[in-house]
Amino acid sequence: MTTTSGEELIVLTRREYDVLLAQLGDEDAEDRMTIRLVDEARAALDAGTEFLLPVWFSDGLMANRNPIRTVREHCSRTPAQMAQAAGITEEQLARFESGKALPPAAILDAISADAGIDPRILRRMYEETDA
């Protein structure tokens, strides 16, 4: 687009404009962007398209622990207890915890149910490694 004098015209959405101003140090624009980001995050949580990871789970991942092992240890379950709750053998659980095998969604859901956590947490961890 150009003006009648031939000068190039640039059109920005309000969001793009606020991002630009915030990057230039405009505090009001930074505040608007913060509010917008918080509102979007809350809407995603309310819609169920996003979820929060428990701190203990994030800490386990940061320590390079396997997601299933992190859940098991947080719940103070022995491998035998977790395997029984998931309907698998201890050997299968060991393969999942060591990363030698990928657990099916039904197993992840059983572990999540036993641990009382949102099943999307473990499912998401293994979806990401599949990609």
Mapping DSSP to helix (H, G, I), strand (E, B) and coil, where does residue 2 land?
strand
For residue range 41-100, list pLDDT tens digits in order. Answer: 999 989 988 888 899 999 999 999 999 999 999 999 999 999 999 999 999 999 999 999
In sequence order, what are the beta bridge partners of 2? 8
pLDDT at 51: 85
pLDDT at 131: 42
Taking a C-beta distance cutoff of 8 angstroms, is the pair 90, 79 a contact?
yes
In sequence order, what are the beta bridge partners of 8? 2
Domain boundaries, the chain: 1-50, 55-130
Nearest Cα to 119, choosing from 105, 131, 129? Answer: 105
**CA 44 to CA 38: how far, in whole Å?**
10
DSSP 131: -
pTM, 2 dp = 0.67
Which CATH number is 55-130 given?
1.10.260.40
- Report angle CA 120, 73, 86 to the nearest 5 degrees: 55
Residue type, 43: A
Mapping DSSP to helix (H, G, I), strand (E, B) and coil, where does residue 42 land?
helix
pLDDT at 69: 97
